Structure 1
């Protein structure tokens, strides 16, 4: 019942990786969508909701992939089997956020400056606490393969 946190800067491909894993039969939760994050001030997980998600999942025998990058995610590190940092060069991130259609973050000059600053300041902190790192300049299917290898097959084991 591995629980894998997929984290990284905007544009690294967290949502894409989770979408591919979901197609393969894995349970995934992208905390950028839904009511998982309190966005008043610095984005942070609503700890009661994340705690309930993990507690409910701990009873299952299937892997869970959870994606997000928030200020309080380290609170939950002891409950994750893996913390995987997805990374790519700043230029790649900026190109991706400029052309994506699923999330408006990154389309303004202010957003882009924030991505640059976070990549320089926050990403090294994420790297220190990660159990694995995947360079997402790889094709998305290979990124999903590497994540899947950390969790084992989808569904309940026999």
Structure 2
């Protein structure tokens, strides 16, 4: 079982993966490490690296939101969309300490714009959506109930 956890910046992908890792599940955050590259100013998955990782990992939770993730959809048995209302995202992005993305007004505007343009596309391919206004332990419980 390979699960893609996707959604806008600030929805809690990293927090969910940390919770799942604490429960003993294998996780990979594709925002870090060798999994992405910048092509024409856009961060994309390195498809060769991701395909190798996914082919060699029969049980894995992967977080990421990049335009070319659809090209690797066949590797995932589930796609979990995490979402949150815009005011929650604004508050989380302003206060998070693990990542500076979203603190810049332009990045915040970009993220809020993606709520209108990208999130509906993610929702269309998701097998589960969880609104992350509940504690992360409850989010993990809902995700695990769906995928196990």
Which category of TM-score, normalised to the shorter sequence, fits these structures?
A: over 0.9
Match runs of 1:5-84 below 5 Å: 5-40=4-39, 41-58=41-58, 63-84=59-80
Offset from partner CA, 1:31-62 (integer Å, 9 cap, x none): 0111211123221100011001011113xxxx
Look up the SS of the partner of 1:48 in the other structure.
Answer: helix
Corresponding residue of 1:147: 143
TM-score (norm 2): 0.96
Once residues 22 and 100 of structure 2 are traced to their aligned partners in structure 1, the CA distance between those partners, rounded to angstroms, is: 24
Offset from partner CA, 1:118-154 (integer Å, 9 cap, x none): 11110001001111100000111000111222333xx
| Corresponding residue pairs, total | 147
Corresponding residue of 2:99: 103
Match of 1:126 among 116, 122, 134: 122
Offset from partner CA, 1:16-41 (integer Å, 9 cap, x none): 00000000000000101112111232
Once residues 44 and 143 of structure 2 are traced to their aligned partners in structure 1, the CA distance between those partners, rounded to angstroms, is: 24
Aligned alpha-carbon RMSD (Å): 0.9
Offset from partner CA, 1:43-94 (integer Å, 9 cap, x none): 1100011001011113xxxx31000000100011111000010000111111
Q: Which moved more, 1:27-36 or 1:141-150?
A: 141-150
Structure 2, unaligned runs of 5 or more: none
Look up the SS of the partner of 1:57 in the other structure.
Answer: coil
Once residues 145 and 121 of structure 2 are traced to their aligned partners in structure 1, the CA distance between those partners, rounded to angstroms, is: 24
